[in-house]
Amino acid sequence: MNGRGDTMSRIHQRKQSHVDVALNKDISYHRSSGLERYAFIHNALPDLDFKEIDTSAVFLGKKIQLPLIISGMTGGHALGARINRNLAMAAEKTGIAMGIGSQRIALEHEDMHDMVSSSFDVRKYAPSIPLLANLGAAQLNKGYGLKECRQVVEQINADALVFHLNPLQEVIQGGDVDWKGILPKIGRIVKALDVPVIVKEVGFGISDEVGRRLDSVGVHAIDVSGSGGTSWAAIESRQGSMRRRMLGRRFWDWGIPTAEALQMNKGRRTKLIAGGGIRSGQDMAKSIALGADYCTMASPFLKAAADSPRKVMELILFLELELRTAMFGIGVKDLKMLKGTPSLRRLTP
Ligand SMILES: Cc1cc2nc3c(=O)[nH]c(=O)nc-3n(C[C@H](O)[C@H](O)[C@H](O)COP(=O)(O)O)c2cc1C
């Protein structure tokens, strides 16, 4: 097998085993997202008709029914193809946005009839929703540039490109550990790419300092993807060498809790996205009240999509009902009123 083929099969195996571990093992942070430290002041006399509450938002110029984005997770293998298809069908039916997993592997398979590439091709199931392409920012130090970014966007007819920042995960898994000079490279892509660029973590969180630097190069949105949900150190601790397992266990709870990462990044020019440990409509409501414009969720969608599009739809519809109920409970009729509402209080310990 040549060098490229060898790398391909390693990426392929790794991606598949990440999904297997996420579906079958405990990989959640022991520490929470911090959102439970907040509570809304109940409004016993809302001047509202529940039926008129509006949870819709505009994302990347398209209307979505809920401020919700399925976070990028998978593709590149048969199970990933099924998961992406089920997610896309449910997202289209319910009118929410969707991201797909890193398309690095698909760049090596440009033929869309190939299973690897076509596993990312969800546009055919979701013609109208905002779709997000995905690449690891570390690849910008491995020879990837504008050409590859354009390719992944075109491959799925995406509305934006998401770069994921995962330096700690890369160290634990023994992957791409040279992160020098990545920011100006992101900045150059922001300037030249035809679609907006979004930057996210994978669960360790984005601090105020990193948020400020990303803002300075003009990214469209920051998904803080903080700690409290899926722990990538936990995922890495479940597989591979002894070194990887031990390091993964030591860093299981490393990261900035999502509620704190939101506080650190609110009020920037960029759109703010809450991710990492968002598990309910109330988490969504609290995140928006803390300054987020949208929310992302990964792991719960993975589990539902491994079952069926119907399970994904049920999850989305319940999240919507819960968000609406929380909005009714504080008497706000739309997301504009929810964002920054004074009704959210931090509980004293
Ligand atoms: C199986 C799995 C694969 C993932 N792959 C990617 C990926 O390829 N690109 C990416 O940006 N994030 C990836 N993530 C991270 C998620 O998008 C998200 O940021 C993280 O899981 C935290 O959200 P959660 O607590 O709702 O799961 C993956 C997550 C899971 C569970």
Atom number, ligand 1, closest to the C-alpha of residue 164: 11
- The confidence score (pLDDT) of residue 349 equals 75
Kindly give the distance from the C-alpha atom of residue 67 to the centroid of ligand 1, in angstroms, as a whole number: 18
- The confidence score (pLDDT) of residue 45 equals 98
Kindly give the distance from the C-alpha atom of residue 265 to the centroid of ligand 1, in angstroms, as a whole number: 20
- Give the closest residue to 265 by CA, choosing from 312, 226, 320: 226
pLDDT (tens digit, 9 = 90+) per residue, 111-152?
A: 656 878 789 999 999 999 999 999 999 999 999 999 999 999
- The confidence score (pLDDT) of residue 111 equals 66
Sign of dihedral through CA atoms 127, 130, 134, 140?
A: positive
Q: Whose CA is nearest to atom 5 of ligand 1?
A: 73
CATH of the domain at 314: 3.20.20.70
Which 8-state DSSP code applies to residue 227?
A: B
**Size of the chain in residues:** 349
- The confidence score (pLDDT) of residue 198 equals 98
Contact in structure between 194 and 153 (CB atoms under 8 Å) = yes
- Give the closest residue to 176 by CA, choosing from 347, 11, 343, 349: 11
Phi, psi of 201 (to 5 degrees): -90, -175
Domain count, the chain: 1
Q: Whose CA is nearest to atom 29 of ligand 1?
A: 73
Kindly give the distance from the C-alpha atom of residue 230 to the centroid of ligand 1, in angstroms, as a whole number: 7
Between CA 75 and CA 69 the distance in angstroms is 17
Ligand 1 interacting residues, C-beta cut-off 6 A: 18-19, 22, 71-74, 101-102, 134, 162, 164, 200, 202-203, 225, 229-230, 275-278, 297-299, 302
Kindly give the distance from the C-alpha atom of residue 299 to the centroid of ligand 1, in angstroms, as a whole number: 7
Atom number, ligand 1, closest to the C-alpha of residue 228: 25
**CA 175: distance to chain centroid?**
21
- The confidence score (pLDDT) of residue 1 equals 37
Q: How far is CA 285 from CA 184, 206, 224, 315, in A?
A: 34, 20, 16, 16
Kindly give the distance from the C-alpha atom of residue 238 to the centroid of ligand 1, in angstroms, as a whole number: 16
3-state class of 272 per DSSP?
strand
Which 8-state DSSP code applies to residue 28?
A: B
Four-point Cα dihedral 103, 109, 113, 119, nearest 10: -30
Instruction: Kindly give, in sequence order, each residue whose CB lies less than 8 Å from that of residue 164, ignoring residues fewer than 6 positions away.
Output: 72, 102, 134, 135, 136, 137, 199, 200, 201, 202
Phi, psi of 28 (to 5 degrees): -90, 150
Kindly give the distance from the C-alpha atom of residue 289 to the centroid of ligand 1, in angstroms, as a whole number: 24
Residue 188 host element (H or E): helix 182-192
Kindly give the distance from the C-alpha atom of residue 298 to the centroid of ligand 1, in angstroms, as a whole number: 6
Contact in structure between 163 and 132 (CB atoms under 8 Å) = no
Atom number, ligand 1, closest to the C-alpha of residue 102: 8
Q: Whose CA is nearest to atom 3 of ligand 1?
A: 73
Q: Whose CA is nearest to atom 4 of ligand 1?
A: 73
pLDDT (tens digit, 9 = 90+) per residue, 240-298?
A: 899 999 999 999 999 999 999 999 999 999 999 999 999 999 999 999 999 999 999 99
Contact in structure between 208 and 264 (CB atoms under 8 Å) = yes
- The confidence score (pLDDT) of residue 112 equals 57
Kindly give the distance from the C-alpha atom of residue 62 to the centroid of ligand 1, in angstroms, as a whole number: 23
- The confidence score (pLDDT) of residue 132 equals 98
- Burial call 282-298: b when 16+ CB within 10 Å, e when fewer: bbbbbbbbbbbbbbbbb
Domain extent for 276: 3-346
Atom number, ligand 1, closest to the C-alpha of residue 202: 19
pLDDT per residue of the chain (349 residues) written in tens, 0 to 9: 344 555 666 777 888 889 999 999 999 999 999 999 999 999 999 999 999 999 999 999 999 999 999 999 999 888 999 999 999 999 999 999 999 999 999 987 766 568 787 899 999 999 999 999 999 999 999 999 999 999 999 999 999 999 999 999 999 999 999 999 999 999 999 999 999 999 999 999 999 999 999 999 999 999 999 999 999 999 999 998 999 999 999 999 999 999 999 999 999 999 999 999 999 999 999 999 999 999 999 999 999 999 999 999 999 999 999 999 999 999 999 999 999 899 999 998 7
Atom number, ligand 1, closest to the C-alpha of residue 299: 27
Kindly give the distance from the C-alpha atom of residue 22 to the centroid of ligand 1, in angstroms, as a whole number: 10
Atom number, ligand 1, closest to the C-alpha of residue 71: 17
